Amino acid sequence: MEPLRDYGWHFGIALAASLGLTVAVRTLARRFGWVAKPRPDRWHQKPTALFGGVGIFGGFLLAYLVRRPAGLTGGGLLTACASGMFLLGFIDDKFQLKPYAKLVGQIAFATLFTTFGLRLHWLLNPILDQGLTIFWLVGMTNALNLLDNIDGAAGGVAAIAGGFLIYFCHMAGQGDSAMIAAAFTGAVLGFLVFNFNPASIFMGDCGSLFIGFFLGGLSLVNFEIGARRNVIAVLAIPVLLLLLPILDTTLVTITRRYHGRRVSQGGRDHTSHRLVALGMSERRATLTLWAISAISGGLAVAVKNVSAMMAIGLMSAFVFGLLFLMIFLGRVKVYQQVASEVEANGRTLLPTLADFSYKRRVFETLNDLVLIMLCYYGAFLLRFDESTIMEHWPQFVRSLPLVIVSQLSVFLVLGLYRGVWRYTGMDDLAVIVRAVAGAVLLSTGVLLVVFGAERVHPRVVVINALLLLLGVGGSRVSFRFLRSWLGQKRAEGRRVIIYGAGDGGELLVRELQNNLDLGLVPVGFVDDDPQKAGRMIHGVRVMGSSDGIDRILASVRAHEVVLSSSKIGPERWERVERACTELGLGARRMRIALE
pLDDT of 416-442, one tens digit each?
A: 888 777 667 777 888 999 999 999 999
Q: Which residue has the higher pLDDT, 595 or 292?
A: 292
Q: How far apart are CA 194 and CA 63, in angstroms?
A: 20
Q: Give start-end residues of each CATH 3.40.50.720 domain in the chain.
A: 494-589
- Determine the average pLDDT of the residues in 542-571: 89
Report DSSP state, residue 36.
E
Domain 494-589, CATH among 3.40.50.720, 3.40.1010.10, 3.40.50.2300, 3.30.450.20: 3.40.50.720
**Is the Cβ–Cβ distance between 240 and 133 less than 8 Å?**
no
Q: What's the pLDDT tens digit per position in 199-242?
A: 899 999 999 999 999 998 887 765 443 344 445 555 677 788 88
Using pLDDT thresholds of 50, 70 and 90, give the confidence band for residue 157: very high
Per-residue pLDDT at 186: 96
Q: Is the pLDDT of residue 542 over 70?
A: yes
Q: Which residue has the higher pLDDT, 173 or 394?
A: 394
φ, ψ of residue 587 in degrees (nearest 5): -140, 125
Per-residue pLDDT at 227: 41
Per-residue pLDDT at 347: 41
- Determine the average pLDDT of the residues in 292-313: 87
Per-residue pLDDT at 346: 42
Provide the sign of the torsion angle of the four alpha carbons 262, 266, 267, 271, taken in this order.
positive
Q: 3-class DSSP state for residue 515?
A: coil
The three-state DSSP-derived secondary structure of 435-503 is HHHHHHHHHHHHHHHHHCHHHCCHHHHHHHHHHHHHHHHHHHHHHHHHHHHHCCCCCCCEEEEEECCCH
Per-residue pLDDT at 341: 42
Q: 3-class DSSP state for residue 530?
A: helix
Q: How far apart are CA 197 and CA 208, in angstroms?
A: 17
Give pTM, 2 decimals.
Answer: 0.79
Dihedral of CA atoms 417, 420, 424, 427 in degrees, nearest 10, equals -50
The three-state DSSP-derived secondary structure of 222-254 is CCCCCCCCCHHHHHHHHHHHCHHHHHHHHHHHH
Q: Is the pLDDT of residue 552 over 60?
A: yes
Q: How far apart are CA 419 and CA 479, in angstroms?
A: 13
Per-residue pLDDT at 418: 80
Most confident of 149-163, 168-182, 413-427, 527-541: 149-163
Using pLDDT thresholds of 50, 70 and 90, give the confidence band for residue 189: very high
